[in-house]
Chain A
Amino acid sequence: MIRSDILRDIAPIIRDHLVVCNIGLPSQELHLTDDQPTNFYMLGTMGLASSIGLGLALAQGKKVISIDGDGSVLTNFGTLPTIANNVADNFILLIIDNGSYGSTGDQPTYAGKKTSLTAVATACGCENVVECSAEDTGKTVQAALDSNKMTIIVAKCESGNVKVPVITMDPVVIRDRFMKAVQA
């Protein structure tokens, strides 16, 4: 399974929650699969999906799922200690770990080599860190939602991309639509 398969599987599970989605193909795939006002597409700022999601979870009560990538977590490693030390039980960080910088052509990341993001998150002090297979991502996300505990999920999958169009929606429209969904 590749990232787009995971996104298709989890779409019905996450659609009623606030979602902050990673730059590049993850956002484009989610947008194509199941565009929702509750989706915030982060079109730039590689690395900040987890930070935006944490800030959002700390600021209000609805559940927030940040969909991140292994390469992006590696670029913003500082996020994991911040998450660990500012617990928001309405926050789930789902790291889709395909071991590559998928959006830029599947160049390998260190997460696909010797570095375990699960071990790093644990070492940073995160309390509920779960590693799962691509196939089990849906039920793992559902269990995390049901637990009402801040959870970091590392979903291991194969690298690979499908052809998807870019998102042409205006950023201010994305943000405004999202904020209305937050307040609804």
Chain B
Amino acid sequence: MSVNKKIVDDLVANDVEFVTTVPCKQLAGVIDEIDACEKIYHIPSNKEDEGMGLCAGAFMGGKRPAIIMQNTAIGVTINTLVTLTQYYRMPLPMLISYRGELGEPVACQVEMAVHTKALLNQLNIPTYHFHKEEDADELDSILKYTFMCNKPVAILTDASFWKGY
């Protein structure tokens, strides 16, 4: 089974029915899989903070949400993470491509990579890092944990995990 299919299967198995995305080259496959999945309403957003607003609304409407985005988006979502998702105590699994790690060809991506874990740590956001394909075996538990504690949770997925670009 492809890793993209496995990720979407885990989302479906955990009743995630509402997924917003902003693309990253590394996330293209999983976004295609989300789009093709009949059990998930896929709503592309134009900016990740907007996407987190959509997810907050969907959660209050009774649907489990998730966001798929690039790590650069941490920079544009800090206010939303703290004053919406955390302040009102809402769950939000964030599947994040961790650009700027080993194997990265685009130098500019490294600039946010060096801040990514520090920012998530500062925000007290539980953070998991998928480096090898088998790390994704933990996704099911991470999703259960997220909806148990009603917190935003970050899943960083680097280039080694995606086997390059």
Q: Is the CB of A45 within 8 A of B61?
A: no
B83 within 8 A of A: yes
A132 within 8 A of B: no
- CB < 8 Å neighbour of B60 from A51, A82, A178: A178
Q: Is the CB of A79 within 8 A of B50?
A: yes
Q: Is the CB of B61 within 8 A of A59?
A: yes
Chain B, 51-93, contact with A by CB distance < 8 Å: what is the 0/1 string? 1111111111111010000000000000110111001111000
Docked Cα-Cα span, A42 to B80, in Å, equals 11
A31 to chain B, nearest CB (A): 16
B47 within 8 A of A: yes
Docked Cα-Cα span, A53 to B61, in Å, equals 10
B81 to chain A, nearest CB (A): 10
Of A1-9, A96-104, A142-150, A169-177, the one with at least 4 CB within 8 A of chain B: A169-177
B45 within 8 A of A: yes
Docked Cα-Cα span, A44 to B81, in Å, equals 10
Docked Cα-Cα span, A86 to B45, in Å, equals 11
Question: Which 8 interchain pairs have the tightest Cβ spacing?
Answer: A55-B57, A44-B83, A59-B61, A51-B53, A78-B46, A48-B53, A56-B57, A55-B54
Q: Is the CB of A175 within 8 A of B50?
A: no
Q: A168 to chain B: which residues have CB within 8 Å?
A: none
Interface size class of A (residues with CB under 8 A): 20 to 34
Docked Cα-Cα span, A174 to B88, in Å, equals 8
- Residues of A at the B interface (CB closer than 8 Å) are 20, 40, 42-45, 47-60, 76, 78-79, 81-82, 86, 171-172, 174-175, 178-179, 182-183
Docked Cα-Cα span, A51 to B84, in Å, equals 12
Docked Cα-Cα span, A147 to B83, in Å, equals 34
Number of interface residues, chain B, beta carbon within 8 A: 32
B18 within 8 A of A: yes
- CB < 8 Å neighbour of B84 from A45, A54, A178, A183: A45
B155 to chain A, nearest CB (A): 21
Q: Besides the contacts A51-B50, A55-B18, A57-B61, what 10 more A-B pairs have beta carbons closer than 8 Å?
A: A45-B79, A45-B80, A55-B57, A58-B58, A58-B61, A59-B57, A59-B59, A82-B43, A175-B60, A175-B88
Q: A54 to chain B: which residues have CB within 8 Å?
A: 54, 57
Docked Cα-Cα span, A42 to B52, in Å, equals 13
Q: B65 to chain A: which residues have CB within 8 Å?
A: 55
What are 16 inter-chain pairs, A to B, with CB distance below 8 A?
A20-B57, A42-B84, A52-B54, A52-B60, A54-B57, A55-B55, A57-B57, A58-B18, A58-B57, A59-B18, A59-B57, A76-B53, A78-B46, A79-B46, A79-B50, A172-B88
Q: A178 to chain B: which residues have CB within 8 Å?
A: 60
B41 within 8 A of A: yes
Docked Cα-Cα span, A50 to B46, in Å, equals 13
B79 to chain A, nearest CB (A): 7
- CB < 8 Å neighbour of A56 from B60, B83, B88: B60
Q: Is the CB of A76 within 8 A of B50?
A: yes
Q: Is the CB of A44 within 8 A of B79?
A: yes
B49 within 8 A of A: yes
